[in-house]
Amino acid sequence: MRQNGLMEIFDRSRRAQLELCDQLEIIADSLPERVDRQTCALTAQALDEVIRSAHAIEEAHVFPLVTREATLEVDSSALVAHLRQDHLADAFLVEELVELLASYGSGTPLHGPEASGYMLRSFFGGLRRHLALEQELLGKALGRLDSKGHGGR
Ligand SMILES: [Fe+2]
């Protein structure tokens, strides 16, 4: 994959994840009285798709590239290991949240509003921190590689 294309895909994927966080926050804020079943059902689908795709892109292309090119000011292997741990933890949470949102979508919530709100807020809070770290470190590294004209493979 060419460098320019990768930067664009990384940015698009990041924006999709941020929009997802905003959507999850709206749902958490709407619990329990104003929760919209259709929004929950649609968000359950989007959640799985967006996160799966983001993890696949980062792990197949972004992480190997920044590790190989070693353009970070920090130990890139340690950073990538940390980000991969986040992905593993998030993948587990996504499964739970998809079930939760689908249950709200079908009108039979698996958990009460407090527990549901806590699950949603824990996830999007953690994801926003993860995205900020990725943007700070990987976004800059990709930008530097881009300006140096390095090509991804
Ligand atoms: Fe990530």
Q: What is the pLDDT of residue 144?
A: 74
The residues whose Cβ lies within 5 A of ligand 1, an ion, are 58
* 57-109 confidence digits (pLDDT tens): 999 999 988 888 766 567 788 889 999 999 999 999 999 999 999 999 999 99
Chain Cα centroid distance, residue 2:
22
Contact at 8 Å (CB) between 66 and 140?
no
Distance CA 135, CA 85 (A): 17
Q: How far is the CA of 68 from the centre of ligand 1 (A)?
A: 18
Q: How far is the CA of 100 from the centre of ligand 1 (A)?
A: 22
Task: Report H helices in 31-112.
Answer: 37-57, 63-69, 76-105
pLDDT at residue 151 tops 50: no
Sketch out the chain's domains with CATH numbers: 3-148 (1.20.120.520)
Distance CA 111, CA 113 (A): 7
